[in-house]
Structure 1
Amino acid sequence: MSQWQDFTTGERIKMLRGKEVTQEALAARSGLSLHTIQKAEQGGNVSLPTLLRLAEALHSDVSVILGQQAPRRGMGRDDRAMLRELSRTVHDTAAGVLADPAEGTAPGAADLAEAAERLWRVYWRGAYTEAGVLAAPFLRSVALYAQGTPAGQEAAASALLSDAYRAAGLIANFLGARDLAYAAVGLAIRHAELAADPVRVSMLGSARARVLLRDARVEQALREAEAAAVRAEPRFSEQGAGLLAAYGKNIVFAAVAASRLGDSDRAADLLSQAHAVAARLGRDVFGNGLQFGPSYAGAQAVGINVTLGNAGRALDLSRRFDPSGLTQAAHNRMQLDVALAQCDARLWDASLDTLLEVCSAHPEWATHQAIPGVIIQRAGRAGASRIRKLSGILGISPTGR
């Protein structure tokens, strides 16, 4: 199969444009003539100014148009537009480029708390593009609020900024915007430290570990998650459920990283610790974008055993715990892990049934996942009709590529 760099620049422009946007529409968006668009797609030389205009109109990057890097998998124009706006907002607010306070009234703390709760509800549902659309104006509002914070209340404003940057970082990481994820999580850590909030600081250990895992820096992710857990452990009994949950989540991410390294003993030990923390909590805890408890630890145990090659154990665990406490996104991910375990166990029909169920119910979430393509490629010998349905939902070829 051809790689992105194998296509011509004109072919890449046409593919990024897609069927729903005509050449005339692209010309109008970019401010270029129809003749220029046609010439570019037919393989004519494209000047840098033209490339810059096309990149803006296509919500892409010049490097993608030139084939130097591939577009993010499963990402349409709306996703790219959202990420560009989110990136601009993160960097503008970090640099102090804010709206003029005279242009409107800065939001109050109660309004921001309500907006944050709405943002995390959308995020937990797995609607990451929608969450990103909410995150940019939320971050701008928090930055404006922080700008006018009276003396003595800076810590509260820093805590809100930490939450806003952390949301931006997690959304960017899920959608594969690595550089933005690193920048936003780094800013979140800085503001959590300024707020002197041990719960937020600990929560950001797992956030940074998540970004490192996505970047294939697995050993660093393991060290980050374990260090964050160690920093929290001596104090969690004094701080209540929030820090205990953050501590447990760091332990889980350390276990995930250990499983990626193939260290089954270390992963098992860490997972045992996470279950002990979850049992102490006795319930799934939600707050400020954090989820941890018995359901979450159980779902992660399924995925960790899949990674370690213990398909039978993973399937057994999936049948033995109650997932009702999971967020929608966490439940979806567990279902993918179950489908992958079924695939590993050569239960092809069951694997495709599980995959079709989660992808049909949550197609926008599923299109950003790599596991469905892996399963389709491996389980392709089973029901052709299901393969066709899945390929249509995910927008991939029946080979999973």
Structure 2
Amino acid sequence: MSVSDIMTFPASLMVNESVLLAISDHSSEMKSPQKQAFIKRLLQSSIAGDVPSWPPYFLSSILPLLPHLPVSHFQQLTSQQLTPLMEMLGNSSLDATRGHHVLRTVFGRGKNLTSDNIMKLGVLICYLNSEDLQQLLSSSNLSPVLWQQLAQCVSEGHISGSGRLSHWLGTALKSLNASILSTSAMASLHGMLPQMGASFLEPLSSNELLDLVTLPGMPTFPPAQALEGTSANITRQLECLLPFVSLRKLMSDLDGETVLHHISVYKHMPWSHQQAQMLFKMIQRTVNITRESILDLGRIAGGMSCEWLKLWVNESGFSELLQFITKLPGGLRPGLKKCVVVELRKRPDIDLNDLDPSFAARLPLTMLENLSNSSLNSVLDYVRQHFIDFLQLPRHKQTALAEKAIDVLTNYAFIQ
């Protein structure tokens, strides 16, 4: 239903059990303006009565709408109304203002928080007052469920990563051994890691550290944390953080000799296109990069310049070089991709079927026509498995690949 449809919906039906059930069942499909319209229409219904008179069973039926109940009305909800809903509210999307009201109303002054009701708070724990939080964090037996939930509050932005709670939480967590924490526990801490410092990460292996810092939403680490360490072990591990350090800091702290010395590690790191270009230039100023030696640079090879690539256009191994760079993880930057296409046009003898499907899918249409059926099938398989990449292609390219897919399916059906 559109917002205008909802606003003309009979107010008398807003408290109908079937209507409320339908709202609850389909709430995940609704957008905020729709939920706001439903709650507004509900407030206009005289049958629903005033907010303080709404019974808990009625509130539970409109739970998905409560985050959209105007604050002035939400703050009319009483302890008797909210207490039975605590666990459900802990899994809702209440904001700080509404969350504070729930906690003040249910856990007023003089009411102690027990371990049982703390576990039921869910996201509401993010809105506890400072005194209660400090008392909980100072406990000698800090519950894993509690600190993971509080850390999640920081990671999800409900609590400032530089505020008092983060400081208290960071202090309380310093005694944890990162090497024995589960993946989910470490993931919950990702918003706290920059504050906890490099010493907390020291027990992790390089692979564990790399898995951690590549988690979605991982914050940027201060350069000092990523580059400084007092032991050889931590220095080796924190190298994995380098792709997350600013370009300017990398330029001041690395040189070609250093990169080459650690190339066995650096070659596999998820460098950005700009970082790869900078590292390639560093190496090029230190040694002469040949067609053979570039294979040892891994992902850094994607930073080659168009001028360097052109040096090998007329060499016998140019086709193998193209196979290598078109298979690099992360793809080629637009400038290098354009350069490759230009040089391919000059070398019609090069077999386009040797190119990686991820690169071939982005070839100009005139070049796609030259692909064999086998290579075209590989391109279509790639598109099916990476549909987001397909959606990012120009419209005319999408149309052409769709038509190719239909041709392939038609031919397959004919053969069958």
Higher relative contact order (CA 8 A, sep 6+): 1
- Larger fraction in helix: 1
Q: Report the TM-score when normalising by structure 2.
A: 0.38
Larger Rg: 2
